[in-house]
Amino acid sequence: MTVTIPNLPSLYEAFSTEAKWQKFWEDNQVYKADPNHKGEPYCVVIPPPNVTGSLHMGHAFEGALIDTLVRYHRMKGRNTLWLPGTDHASIAVQTILEKQLKAEGKTRHDLGREKFLERAWQWKAESGGTIINQLKRLGVSVDWTRERFTLDEGLSKSVLEAFIRLHEEGLIHRSNYLVNWCPASGSAVSDLEVEPKEVNGNLWYFRYPLSDGSGFLEVATTRPETMLGDTGVAVNPHDDRYKHLIGKTVTLPIMNREIPIIGDELVDATFGTGCVKVTPAHDPNDFEMGKRHDLPFINIMNKDGTLNENAGDFQGQDRFVARKNLVARLDAEGVLVKVEEYKHTVPYSDRGKVPVEPLLSTQWFVKIRPLADKTLDFLDNQDSPEIVPQRWHKVYRDWLVNLRDWCISRQLWWGHQIPAWYAVSETEGEITDSTPYFVARNEEEALEKAKVQFGEDVKLVQDSDVLDTWFSSGLWPFSTLGWPEETEDLATYYPTATLVTGFDIIFFWVARMTMMGTHFTGKMPFKTVYIHGLVRDENNKKMSKSANNGIDPLLLIAKYGTDALRYTLIKEVAGAGQDIRLEYDRKKDESISVEASRNFANKLWNAARFVMMNLDGQTPAQLGQPVPTELSDKWIVSRFNQVVKQTNHDIDNYGLGEAAKGLYEFIWGDFCDWYIELVKSRLQKDAEPTSRKVAQQIIAYILEGILKLLHPFMPHITEEIWQTLTQQPAENPQLLPLQAYPEADDNLIDSALETQFDLLIGTIRTIRNLRAEADIKPGVKITANLQSESASERFILTAGQAYIQDLAKVETLTIVDTNPVVIPEEIAQVEDNKYWRGIKIIALIVVALIGLKVAIFVGNTALDIPFFGTSFEIVGLGYVGWFIIRYLLKSEAREELFAKYFPPSETPIEPELPPTVLQEKENSIAGVIGTVQVVIPLKGVVDIEVVRAKLEKSLQKAEAEAQSLSARLSNSKFVDKAPADVVQTTRETLVEAQKQAEILRIRLETLS
């Protein structure tokens, strides 16, 4: 009967294979979590991308890292849940919709809040799933049945409950405070939504005259228009130049307002003139100084970025127009001293793309200190959460220490509307800073509260603002699991295991989640925070929209495959938290980095095809567990278990890049390039049956183990190969992601053998390189001489002699001692006499003892015979005495006796000496691996003169290049005027040319 041998197609089609398995996994809910499943819970919540977003390289990198961890822990038997979802992105969605309305000649106010929100939900339904669909292209093993959205019903309930509880506890308040204001979006923005940009600006110097006419103070500022709201001038109280002026006043130019001179430690006496203007309503530092010194707070700006009535003659002007006009007027009045160019950092609104304005505004705030202090207690006393890498621990702690009250209200309509209702009937139908309000779960509850205080006729209006998106995101680890309800998911999967996120939001999102989690649940929301780095472009620059240097991951997926991109991103990580660099050719939209990973996938595919073609249609399970017999078998099994052990250790310690590189080296190098080559002859049909069976068992065992080890990194190709290797049925197959991850067997690890086998591999590689250098044709068998002074090296070379001859095409192989000990003839003779004499004496003693034993036995028997016994005893004693005198007292007698019974052989015994060192090196080529010298005689193998001519030609070329480069670098004009990178490249090329010439000279010497 013909055996059907399952096999893979000749070419791996990444696109179709990956799409097939992504659909299968999702359709069959393979990754659906079950709280009742056995195993320790391992839960990860996805850092929710904005619903407006599209997949960028940062998403791909983060997704690959998380999926590797989740797949690994699932295969380790843990009860895993990776929970997906998106953030409603208040400002981003509203900006999109308002642009659409503007194109139609409308505003959101023309539609009204209700119609506007209807349109927003319609947009979400049509376009809001883009990034989710793109995430699915990554093959992430999330539980799509639990997908959440920060504005869905369940999470909205969580947000409402959190707000009310915090308000009832006195931790949420409504106050007039300084906030980051974005004139473009007309809303306060969080610190996270502010992007610091370095700009080339100016530093303007003005004179503020002392009110008593005794002189003036000179101040410097980067925002001259804000002087219209100045309410003081500050100096350092220890500055001898000005401390005598503290308590006096100056007259503010243009506004003619007397303002005090104050002393404050915050002032840097070395900056500018040492005097600073104080505008408490428009600068964070000035705001704090204003409170300390009880200064007035004068707001000069409208929320659209124009100046208000407090700006006098500049009312109605845009802030930057007013700046220009104000400076011109101060110059005309002789107040402007000078203008200097000044590079400084300006905070820009990430969404509005304009400089934010510190603005005094009535907003809702979270009193942050009680929350931060509780979180600090977890960190300091429980080391919770554990932060990887450790260097971010201090950054996170410092942020918690320095947190100020958090502005959580936004002047938008898309988002969680603040659950506060104002009794506008008490303030003439308007919402003012003093209008009474009621926080409630709904309007009915608020109305009941209001009636108790103001009677039946009270009229309420809900606050039109929405909550900062980061408020709902701060609840994400537990709101997604059902909080405030005591759900089964919450009880099982909270606290979550690992948070994987970028360092750029550790201050904002991570800190908010830890504060909210510890406050509302009493538990840290995650055990570990794994902080990853950035994906940098081919020039090692941070990718950003402004720099237009992003790389589209979907384009690379389409060209090379998802697995190739994922594996590249992970393999490039050199240590937890490090940035990675992605090589990319923008002209061709190609990446040599990802292409290398695609080639790795093809290498694995082809190796799997070879293995399956040599298993006679059997699966690894049918073949059974191998028992290594040959040296190469023991080596590959040891290497495999070593890699299993190291991979588990690396992933457990977040060394994902190290794990990926280790697997790459083992799969490509040890298994594909070496073991498969070593075992090919044993897999032939006519090979010795027992050896062939063991070889089949081992290649099947190692391949299946490789697929399991690699699966978390490259899930699609490993699933496809594993299904075929294990011959899973089309209906209800077992799946690779649900198999157990390999565990190392320490009993099968032989580090000494691995070290020894490295010598064999190195020797084979050296012979191959020497063959290539000498241009020996691949099919030609050669002679190779291996010389080593190490007995252990010679032992392993001898043990692996067949491997060397087979893989390096060596017909005659000689293995000798480099420095054998040669024993002089006279010494050898002395040694021979000494040892020979000892052997003889020992032999005589043995003979005598045997004889004595026999005599005793015979004597005892004879003694039992009457009369005869006494006579026999007398004769026996006499004979023994004669024997001793005749044969044992003198050396000549002993030699005679020994020669009688042990005659010498015709050929004298000579000590076996090791072969002498091979001295003949002429017309040969040599190399070294460890202390092993490899010599290949070339005579009769190649035309030595042709080889010599080729080497001489190459040497001339290398020397000419080195001479040319050296002359260029000796030219001062070139060194001084050429770009630094060109000069450095020239130096590096010169070193390479000189090194190449030196190598060629050495090769020529071996032919002399």
d(CA 526, CA 746): 33
Nearby residues of 49 by Cβ (< 8 Å), 6 or more positions away? 59, 86, 87, 131, 135
Q: How confident is the model at residue 925 (pLDDT cuts 50, 70, 90)?
A: confident
Q: Is the pLDDT of residue 283 over 80?
A: yes
Which of helix, strand or coil describes residue 848? helix
**Nearest in space to 21 (alpha carbons), one of 737, 739, 594:** 737
Which alpha helices (DSSP H) does 383-524 contain, by range? 392-402, 443-454, 469-474, 476-479, 488-493, 511-521
Whether residue 278 contacts residue 234, with contact meaning beta carbons closer than 8 Å, is answered with yes
- Residue 514: what pLDDT? 97
Query: What is the rounded CA–CA span in Å between residue 1008 and residue 1000?
Result: 13
State the pLDDT confidence band at 905, using cuts at 50, 70 and 90. very low
The b-or-e profile of 658-672 (16+ CB within 10 A means b, else e) is bbbbbbbebbbebbb
| 902 pLDDT above the threshold of 50 | no
pLDDT tens-digit series, residues 823-845: 444 444 444 454 455 555 555 55
How sure is the predictor about 897, in pLDDT bands with cuts at 50, 70 and 90? low
Return d(Cα 323, Cα 201) in angstroms, integer: 13
Is residue 901 predicted with pLDDT exceeding 60? no
pLDDT of 997 reads: 86
Cα 502 from Cα 504, distance rounded (Å): 5
**Contact call for residues 477 and 525 (beta carbons, < 8 A):** yes
* The predicted structure's pLDDT at residue 932: 87
Rounded distance, CA 785 to CA 921, Å?
10
Check: CB of residue 531 under 8 Å from CB of residue 501.
yes
Q: What is the pLDDT of residue 33?
A: 98
Identify the pLDDT of residue 917. 38
Does the structure show a pLDDT above 90 at 9?
yes
List CB contacts of 56: < 8 A, sequence separation 6 or more. Answer: 543, 550, 552, 553
> Would the pLDDT of 271 be above 90?
no
Indicate the average pLDDT of the chain: 89
Give the pLDDT band (50/70/90) at residue 163: very high
Pick from 363-377, 454-468, 820-834, 946-960: least confident: 820-834
Q: Give the tens place of pLDDT for each residue, 633-656.
A: 999 999 999 999 999 999 999 999
pTM for this entry: 0.81
Summarize the confidence of residues 391-402 as an average pLDDT.
Answer: 93
pLDDT mean over 220-246: 95
Which segment of 614-623, 938-947, 960-969 scores lowest on mean pLDDT? 938-947
How does pLDDT run across 78-110, given as a tens digit for each residue? Answer: 999 999 999 999 988 998 999 999 999 999 999
pLDDT at 913 (0 to 100):
36
Q: Name residues whose C-beta falls within 8 Å of residue 141's C-beta, 6 or more positions apart in sequence.
A: 25, 30, 31, 67, 70, 71, 74, 82, 715, 737
Q: How confident is the model at residue 1002 (pLDDT cuts 50, 70, 90)?
A: confident
397 is written with which tokens?
């702690």
Q: What is the pLDDT of residue 851?
A: 57
Q: How confident is the model at residue 973 (pLDDT cuts 50, 70, 90)?
A: confident
Model pLDDT, residue 882? 62
Please give the pLDDT value at position 811: 93
Task: Report pLDDT for 298.
Answer: 96
pLDDT at residue number 518: 98
Amino acid 508: pLDDT:
77
Please list, in sequence order, all residues whose beta carbon lies within 8 angstroms of the beta carbon of residue 745, skipping any fewer than 6 positions away: 641
Minimum mean pLDDT among 7-11, 491-495, 907-911: which range?
907-911
Q: What is the pLDDT of residues 248-261, one digit of tens each?
A: 999 999 999 999 99
Confidence tier at 6 by pLDDT (50, 70, 90): confident
- Give yes or no for residue 322 having a pLDDT over 90: yes
Q: Stretch 379-384: mean pLDDT, rounded?
A: 96
914: pLDDT strictly greater than 70: no
CA–CA separation, 389 and 575 (whole Å)? 9
Q: Residue 927: its pLDDT value, please? A: 80
Helices (H), 343-442: 368-382, 392-402
The answer, yes or no, to whether residue 361 has pLDDT greater than 50, is yes
Q: What is the pLDDT of residues 698-713, one digit of tens each?
A: 999 999 999 999 999 9
DSSP collapsed to 3 states, 307-370: ECHHHHHHCCCEHHHHHHHHHHHHHHCCCEEEEEEEEEEEEEECCCCCECEEEEEEEEEECHHH
Other CB atoms within 10 A of residue 296 CB: 13
| pLDDT tier for residue 860 given thresholds of 50, 70 and 90 | low
Q: Which two tokens stand for residue 403?
A: 């947190």
Ramachandran region of residue 791, left (φ > 0), alpha (ψ -120 to 50) or beta?
alpha
**Residue 302 and residue 642: Cα distance in Å, rounded?**
68
Q: Say if residues 137 and 557 touch (Cβ distance below 8 Å).
A: yes
Region of poorest pLDDT, from 500-514, 791-805, 875-889: 875-889
* Residue % of the chain over a pLDDT of 90: 71
Residue 822 above 90 pLDDT? Answer: no
At residue 166, the pLDDT reads 98
Binned at pLDDT 50, 70 and 90, residue 618 comes out as very high
Given a cut of 50, is residue 906 above it in pLDDT?
Answer: no
Q: What is the mean pLDDT of residues 891-910?
A: 49
The pLDDT of residue 944 is above 60: yes
Burial class (CB in 10 A: 0-12, 13-18, 19+), 58: middle
- Asked whether residue 963 carries a pLDDT value surpassing 50, the answer given is yes
% residues pLDDT > 70 (the chain): 89
Residue that has been written with the tokens 């100016």 in this structure: 202
